[in-house]
Every structure is written in structure tokens, then in C-alpha cells.
């Protein structure tokens, strides 16, 4: 068992090493096969470990090696397998493998395919380290590692400077969050003397420690800042939409299914601390709902297929934080799982569409792709229905759980959450109808080029569609489950780590909420259908856009420009001042001055060196004579 | 004044001092590298003479051993020094030390 756990992250690391070291000596298909096998083996391994977790429920700690031992500080490189990490293992390796498979077809014409698979494998490795880590330090390795891989993959097509800018932006934004995480780690160590989960989260440890609530609030706040960066929450969310500059499978894997959920994982992992600090919890839910709303509103007006999905991801992550904020950790993790399935499906579907369109991403020039891409159409439909929350698809159960938990906690939070869900349904179906229905609006060449993706790309779509359709049944809410004899497996599986949600609402109220939500969502979908199918409405081109709010939302509320004005430009100015005003005259001046002084003195002193042997001899003799006189 | 084989020790001292001064002045004033070189030898031998004289005077043979050593080393030095001088002459076409000032600033 212990060996199996160690092997999980090792497989992708080995395949990464093989591809990276052999590079050009491997053919492209060989590199792809090695990468896929690495992740597949890891997935099988994870499945075995998951299976044993299902039976035993006993957390398994595996020490790989002693890492840092200094004084009373002791951090070993060790792994922890418990229900929470095992679920993440399954999602990461499972979805990861499918996306690897998809990439084989998607990237087959790209020169950098080997590099691509090497990074992708490295990413899987770091992500596994992140969720498997048994203390904060190991999690931090994974945390930084996935950030690095994300950076490399966003800027994968590095010849276009726009992509490099996006990569840098993602990296810097993440760095701000990482600083929060780092500070939190230091605070935890100073106050508790340990970074191990098993010590920190053992029952009663935090409650019995003499650390004040204020300190604990500070710690959780700093942790949440870290989560904000990684999981793209206000105010650090702007990197995620730009991260779509990377290849589409990367968007699916890193910027939708796995890496961005690391923040959720971290908060869920440290739920014991968060539960003790209601102030931070309130902040988490406020930030979460604000992000969810903002992402959804911007998503309503975007015309780039990947941008819509990106803002949708921001919005869904916001909903997960709402769940975390109201203490419904299980609901958040459940939504992570279902979201991983349907969002990966949607991104891969969009990848298939972009592939067929020859790189075009603007939905205004698509349309009528239904006949040409039947499999993509069907799977995309399932994904869209799932994210909209139509029963009995996966998104319905997880979203419903979050909404009912929010309702039990705060009615306003519920209302806003419902609004977000309705907007989600609208922009997703707007995207769906504009892409697949109506008639084709692109050029003749593009129409000619349209084709269904090959088997190795559609297969992952089909598998993900099945998951997106049925994954919800692992977490059927009690009110429905009782009637059907279904138990909420997900909640009971995770309860040792995350506890059981304390909030209970009347069964009748819950039924009503469910019905209300579903009816409203269906109405929104019908309205979208009316608008985009019956009336054939197509968003106007950028220059003809009317309505100031629309422009504002299409311009993403100009948050980037605002950040640019408020943070980047002043920083540039300060840097410029420091360079021109301090660095060059003062510091460089000092260094250069010393050099100049030496040179000046030397130019005088070197006159002595005439090169004439006679002078040297005379100087020599007189010096000796002087010495004689001096000593005698 | 004590005598050494009938010659007072003072004379030896004066002779070797004179020889040494001639050598030193030669080194300082002459321009030709070969002459300078010979003057260096002169200084060396002036010292040798003094050593031998005092050795005999004190009846101590240690200084004579010293002189042998100095002569052996001087022979080696002459071999190397002359070789260098020849190379200089071949490359520069002259052995005038006023011309050979390449190492100045």
C-alpha cells in the first residue's frame, strides 16, 4: 500500500523525465504514448488506492524521506492519503489522462508537442504532490510547481508576445497569493510549532492551544489570500481569462479542472482552522459570491468561446468559495468534482470546435456546427446542461447542494447564488446556440475545412460526457435519496475529514428550492433559445456595440486597465525613478567613482615605470643604500 | 694590521669595494645589455673575492664552499641570461636598454 502511494506521483515524473531528456530522439507519437502511459498508470494506481480507502477509511501516511530537520523544526517529505486527497487523486489522474488523450490529436501538428507533453506530465506530478502532501511545506512545493507549469504552458506558443504577457501576468498574480500562503505557513509554525496536518488537525489541538482567535483569523486570512491567487478570486482573478492564451487542453486541465481548484482543496484541507474563524468565513463567502456574480456578468457578453468558458470557471470557483464560506466543505468539494468533469468536457469540446474552425475562436462567425460535428455537439450539449444545473445531470446535484446550504445560512447569499446560476444557464446556452445552431457565418474556406475530430479526441469527450451526466449520483441529496433509496455516498465518504454539514432545512423547503431553481433555469434556457435560435440574434461586432453597460461588461469592466493604472504604472514610475534617480547616480556612481579614483592615482604612479633598465638599476642601488643607512 | 700572504687584509677589502662600485656604476650607467650583464658578474665576483679573503683570514673554509656555490649558480645564470639576451637581440635587433622599453606604461 505504501509503495503504491509513492508510485502515484512517480509515474508522471518518470514519463516527464523520459520525454524531457530524450526530446528529439523520440518521435512525436512516441512522446505522446509515453506521456499517456505515465498518467494512465498513475490513474490505475490511484484507483487501487482509492478502492482501499473506500473499504478502510483509515488515513494512510507515507514518509518518503526526511527533508528538513533543523532544531525543533521537522518537515519530512511525506504523503497523506485520506478521503479528501483520494478524491482529488481520482479527478486529477482521471481527467488528466483523458485530456492527455485528447491532446494527442489536438497537438499532433505542433512542433512543440514533446515539450507540451513534458510540461503536462510535470504538471500532473506537481498537482499530485500538492494534494498528497502531508504538511504545508510539501503542499507548497506542489503549489509552486503547478504555478510554474501553468506559466510554461500559458506561454507555450512563446513566439507570440501576447502569450508571454499572459503567462507573466498569471505568474505575478499567483505570486501575490503565494506570499499570503507563505506568511500563513510561517505564522502557523511560529504559533503551533508544526506544519503537519496530523498534528495541527488532530481533534482539539487548535481549540486547546493558547493561540488567540485574532491570530487564527490572520492565519486563515493569509491562507485565503493564497487561495484567491490560485483559484482566481476577486481581486486576483484577472489572470485566469488571459491564461486562455495557452493551448485548449491546458485550459481544460489546468485552468478549469485541476490547478484552479487547488485553492478550494487548501481551504477544505484546513477546514478545522476556518471553522474556528467565522470572520474569515464571512469574507470567503462574500468574496466568493462577488466573484461568481462578476464572472457571470462578464461571461454574458463575451464573444470568444474560450473567454466565455474562462469567466464561467471564475464564476463557478466563486460558487465553490460560497460553499466553503458557509461551512459546506463537502458541497464545495463535490462541486469541484462535477465541475472538473463538465468544464473539462466543455473546454475539450471548444477545443474540438476550434480545431475544426482552423483556430477561429469568435462565436460570432460560427453557427450551424451541429451537422458537421455531431459527437462534439452532443457531448457539448450534455456539458452545457450539466453546468446549467438541469436534473439529473451532475451539475444539478452539486449546485443544488451549494444553494441549499447557502439558503440555510443566509437568504441573500442564496438569492445571489440563484442569480449566478441563471446567468450561467443563459451564457452557456448563448454560447451553445451561437456555435452549433443556426447557419454558418464564417468564410467559405472555414466552412470547407469543418470536420469532426478524430477518434482519439472524441473518445475523451464521450467519457467525460458520461461522467458529467452521471457523476452527480454519488452525492444525491437526502431529500431525493430517501425516496429512491440512494444514500449520499460522497458526504459520508468525506465526513471523517470535512465533517457533516450542520445546517438543516425542512425537506419541503428544499424541494421547493430545487423546483424553483430548475423551473427558472428552464425558463432562462427557453428565453435563450427564443433569442438565439428563433430570432437568430447574433452579437454585433465590436465597433457597433450599443449600450454602455454592455460595453462595460464586454470590456470586462476594465479591471485590467484599472489595475494597470493603479498598480502597474505607478510601480513602473517608481522603478524608473529608482533607476534614474538612485541606482545610476548613487549606487553606480559610488562603484564607478572607486574605479575612477584608482585609475587616476594609477595614471600618476605609472609614470615611474619608464621601462628604462638604467633607472631601475639606479633606483635599486639607492634603495639598498637607503636601507643600509636606515639600519646601521 | 694583519697580513695575508704578505698583503694586508685592508687591501682586499678596498679592491673588492672598488670592483663592486665599478660594477654597480656600470650597471647604472651603461646602455648595452651585454656590458650591464658583465658588470653584474663583476659585482658578484667582487663579493666572491671578499668572501675568500676573509675565509683565509679567519682560517674558516666555510666561506670557500659558499664561493663555489656562488660560482656554480653564476654559471647557470650566465647561460640563461645570455640566452635571453640573444633572443632579445634577435627579436628587437638591438641590445640597447634605452630602446627596450616595451614594458613601460
Query: What are the distances in angstroms from CA A71 to CA A65, A74, A190, A208, A276?
Result: 18, 8, 13, 24, 30
Query: What are the distances in angstroms from CA A420 to CA A11, A203, A234, A261, A572?
Result: 40, 37, 16, 19, 37
B78: in domain? yes
pTM metric for this prediction: 0.79
What's the gap in Å between the CA of B41 and the closest CA on chain A?
15
Cα end-to-end span (Å), chain A: 90
B43 in contact with A, Cβ within 8 Å: no
Q: Spell out the long-range contacts of A14-18 with Cβ–Cβ below 8 A and sequence spacing 24 or more.
A: A14/A38, A15/A39, A15/A121, A16/A118, A16/A121, A16/A122, A16/A125
Average pLDDT score over residue span A157-180: 91
How many pairs of residues across A and B have Cβ atoms under 8 Å apart?
Answer: 34
Distance of CA B26 to the CA centre of its chain: 11
**For residue A617, which residues of chain B lie inside 8 Å, CB to CB?**
27-28, 36
B104: in domain? no
**For residue A609, which residues of chain B lie inside 8 Å, CB to CB?**
103-105
Band the pLDDT of A429: cuts 50, 70, 90. Answer: very high
Q: Which domain holds residue B83?
A: 3-92
The pairing of beta strand B3-4 with beta strand A60-70: unpaired
A599 in contact with B, Cβ within 8 Å: no
B99: in domain? no
Q: What is the residue-wise DSSP string for A338-383?
A: HHHHHHHHHHHHHHHHHHHTTS--BGGG---TTTT-HHHHHHHHHH
Q: Which residue of A has its CA nearest to B99?
A: A612
Q: Is residue A250 within 8 Å of A153, Cβ to Cβ?
A: yes
DSSP 8-state assignment for residue A118: H
pLDDT (0 to 100) of residue B4: 66
Measured CA to CA, the distance from residue A401 to residue A395 in angstroms comes to: 10
A612 in contact with B, Cβ within 8 Å: yes
B24: in domain? yes
pLDDT (0 to 100) of residue A190: 87
B43: in domain? yes
Q: Please return the burial class of A56, using the count of CB atoms within 10 Å of its CB with bins 0-12, 13-18 and 19+.
A: exposed
Band the pLDDT of A395: cuts 50, 70, 90. Answer: confident
Say yes or no to pLDDT of B63 above 70.
yes
What's the gap in Å between the CA of A616 and the closest CA on chain B?
8
Q: Between the ranges A49-58, A140-149, A445-454, where is the mean pLDDT highest?
A: A140-149
Say yes or no to pLDDT of A210 above 70.
yes
- Model confidence pLDDT, tens digit, residues A548-600: 777 777 777 788 888 888 888 999 999 999 999 888 999 999 999 999 999 99
B102: in domain? no
B35 in contact with A, Cβ within 8 Å: no
Contact A612 B102 (CB under 8 A): no
Closest CA to A102 of A357, A303, A336, A346: A346
CATH number at residue B51: 1.10.287.3510
B24 in contact with A, Cβ within 8 Å: yes
Mean pLDDT for chain A overall: 88
Say yes or no to pLDDT of A496 above 50.
yes
The C-alpha angle with vertex A486 and arms to A58 and A318, in degrees rounded to 5, equals 75
Distance of CA A243 to the CA centre of its chain: 10
Domain count, chain B: 1
- Model confidence pLDDT, tens digit, residues A442-456: 788 877 878 888 888
pLDDT (0 to 100) of residue B1: 47
User: Which A-chain residues 517-536 have CB contacts (< 8 A) with chain B?
Assistant: none
Measured CA to CA, the distance from residue A60 to residue A40 in angstroms comes to: 22
B1 in contact with A, Cβ within 8 Å: no
Band the pLDDT of B3: cuts 50, 70, 90. Answer: low
Contact B31 A618 (CB under 8 A): no
Q: Between the ranges A345-349, A617-621, B31-35, where is the mean pLDDT highest?
A: A345-349
List Cβ neighbours of A113 (8 Å cut-off, separation of 6 or more).
A28, A31, A32, A107
Band the pLDDT of A490: cuts 50, 70, 90. Answer: confident
pLDDT (0 to 100) of residue A503: 64
Q: Which residue of B has its CA nearest to A619?
A: B28
What's the gap in Å between the CA of A619 and the closest CA on chain B?
9
- Model confidence pLDDT, tens digit, residues A5-19: 889 999 999 999 999
Percent of chain A at pLDDT exceeding 90: 43
Q: Is residue A519 within 8 Å of A413, Cβ to Cβ?
A: no
**For residue A614, which residues of chain B lie inside 8 Å, CB to CB?**
28-31, 97-98
B88: in domain? yes
- Model confidence pLDDT, tens digit, residues A94-106: 999 999 999 998 8
pLDDT top residue among A368 and B34: B34
A623 in contact with B, Cβ within 8 Å: no
Amino acid at each position: 500500500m505504501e509503495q503504491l502511494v509513492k508510485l502515484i506521483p512517480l509515474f508522471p515524473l518518470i514519463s516527464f523525465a523520459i520525454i524531457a531528456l530524450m526530446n528529439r530522439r523520440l518521435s512525436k507519437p512516441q512522446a505522446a504514448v509515453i506521456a499517456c502511459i505515465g498518467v494512465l498508470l498513475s490513474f490505475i494506481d490511484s484507483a487501487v488506492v482509492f478502492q482501499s480507502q473506500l473499504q478502510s477509511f483509515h488515513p494512510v501516511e507515507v514518509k518518503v524521506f526526511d527533508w528538513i530537520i533543523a532544531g525543533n523544526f521537522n518537515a519530512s517529505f511525506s504523503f497523506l492519503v485520506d478521503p479528501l486527497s483520494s478524491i482529488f487523486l481520482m479527478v486529477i489522474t482521471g481527467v488528466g489522462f483523458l485530456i492527455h488523450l485528447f491532446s494527442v490529436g489536438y497537438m499532433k501538428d505542433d512542433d512543440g508537442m514533446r515539450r507540451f507533453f513534458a510540461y503536462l506530465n510535470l504538471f500532473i506530478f506537481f498537482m499530485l504532490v500538492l494534494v498528497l502532501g502531508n504538511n504545508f511545506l510539501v503542499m507548497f512545493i506542489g503549489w509552486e510547481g503547478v504555478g510554474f507549469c501553468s506559466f510554461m504552458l500559458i506561454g507555450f506558443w512563446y513566439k507570440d508576445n501576447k502569450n508571454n504577457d499572459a503567462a507573466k501576468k498569471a505568474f505575478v498574480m499567483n505570486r501575490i497569493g503565494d506570499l499570503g500562503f507563505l506568511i500563513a505557513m510561517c505564522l502557523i509554525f511560529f504559533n503551533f510549532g508544526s506544519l503537519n496536518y496530523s498534528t495541527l488537525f488532530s481533534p482539539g489541538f487548535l481549540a486547546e492551544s493558547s493561540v488567540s482567535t485574532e491570530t487564527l483569523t490572520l492565519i486563515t486570512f493569509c491562507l485565503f489570500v493564497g487561495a484567491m491567487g490560485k483559484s482566481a478570486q476577486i481581486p486576483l482573478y484577472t489572470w485566469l481569462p488571459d491564461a486562455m492564451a495557452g493551448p485548449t487542453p491546458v485550459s481544460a486541465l489546468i485552468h478549469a479542472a485541476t490547478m484552479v481548484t487547488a485553492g478550494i482543496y487548501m481551504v477544505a484541507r484546513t477546514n478545522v482552522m476556518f471553522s474556528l474563524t467565522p470572520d474569515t468565513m464571512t469574507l470567503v463567502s462574500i468574496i466568493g459570491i462577488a466573484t461568481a456574480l462578476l464572472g457571470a456578468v462578464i461571461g454574458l457578453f463575451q464573444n470568444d468561446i474560450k473567454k466565455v468558458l474562462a469567466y464561467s470557471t471564475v464564476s463557478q470557483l466563486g460558487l465553490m468559495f460560497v460553499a466553503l464560506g458557509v461551512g459546506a466543505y463537502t458541497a464545495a468539494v463535490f462541486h469541484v468534482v462535477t465541475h472538473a468533469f463538465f468544464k473539462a468536457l466543455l473546454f475539450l469540446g471548444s477545443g474540438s470546435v476550434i480545431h475544426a474552425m482552423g483556430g477561429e475562436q469568435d462565436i460570432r462567425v460560427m453557427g450551424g456546427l451541429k451537422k458537421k460535428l455531431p459527437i462534439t455537439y452532443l457531448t457539448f450539449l450534455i456539458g452545457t446542461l450539466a453546468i446549467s444545473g438541469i436534473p439529473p445531470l451532475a451539475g444539478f446535484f452539486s449546485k443544488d447542494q451549494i444553494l441549499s446550504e447557502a439558503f440555510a445560512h443566509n437568504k441573500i447569499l442564496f438569492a445571489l447564488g440563484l442569480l449566478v446560476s441563471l446567468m450561467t444557464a443563459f451564457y452557456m446556452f448563448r454560447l451553445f446556440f451561437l456555435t452549433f445552431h443556426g447557419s454558418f457565418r464564417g468564410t467559405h474556406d472555414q466552412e470547407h475545412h469543418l470536420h469532426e475530430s478524430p477518434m482519439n479526441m472524441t473518445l475523451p469527450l464521450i467519457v467525460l460526457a458520461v461522467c458529467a451526466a452521471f457523476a452527480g449520483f454519488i452525492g444525491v441529496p437526502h431529500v431525493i435519496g430517501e425516496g429512491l433509496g440512494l444514500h449520499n455516498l460522497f458526504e459520508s465518504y468525506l465526513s471523517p475529514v470535512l465533517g457533516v454539514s450542520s445546517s438543516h432545512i425542512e425537506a419541503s423547503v428544499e424541494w421547493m428550492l430545487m423546483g424553483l431553481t430548475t423551473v427558472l433555469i428552464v425558463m432562462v434556457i427557453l428565453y435563450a433559445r427564443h433569442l438565439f435560435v428563433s430570432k437568430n440574434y447574433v452579437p454585433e461586432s465590436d465597433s457597433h456595440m450599443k449600450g454602455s453597460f454592455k460595453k462595460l461588461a464586454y470590456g470586462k469592466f476594465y479591471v485590467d486597465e484599472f489595475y494597470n493604472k493603479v498598480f502597474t504604472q505607478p510601480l513602473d514610475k517608481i522603478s524608473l525613478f529608482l533607476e534614474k534617480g538612485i541606482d545610476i547616480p548613487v549606487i553606480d556612481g559610488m562603484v564607478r567613482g572607486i574605479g575612477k579614483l584608482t585609475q587616476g592615482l594609477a595614471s600618476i604612479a605609472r609614470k615611474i615605470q619608464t621601462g628604462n633598465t638604467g633607472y631601475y638599476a639606479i633606483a635599486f642601488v639607492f634603495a639598498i643604500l637607503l636601507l643600509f643607512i636606515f639600519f646601521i | 694590521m694583519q697580513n695575508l700572504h704578505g698583503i694586508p687584509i685592508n687591501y682586499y677589502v678596498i679592491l673588492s669595494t672598488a670592483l663592486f662600485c665599478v660594477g654597480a656604476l656600470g650597471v647604472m650607467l651603461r646602455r648595452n645589455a651585454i656590458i650591464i650583464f658583465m658588470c653584474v658578474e663583476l659585482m658578484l665576483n667582487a663579493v666572491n673575492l671578499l668572501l675568500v679573503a676573509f675565509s683565509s683570514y679567519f682560517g674558516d673554509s666555510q666561506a670557500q664552499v659558499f664561493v663555489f656555490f656562488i660560482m656554480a649558480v653564476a654559471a647557470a645564470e650566465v647561460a640563461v641570461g645570455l640566452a635571453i639576451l640573444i633572443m632579445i637581440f634577435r627579436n628587437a635587433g638591438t641590445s640597447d636598454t634605452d630602446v627596450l622599453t616595451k614594458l613601460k606604461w
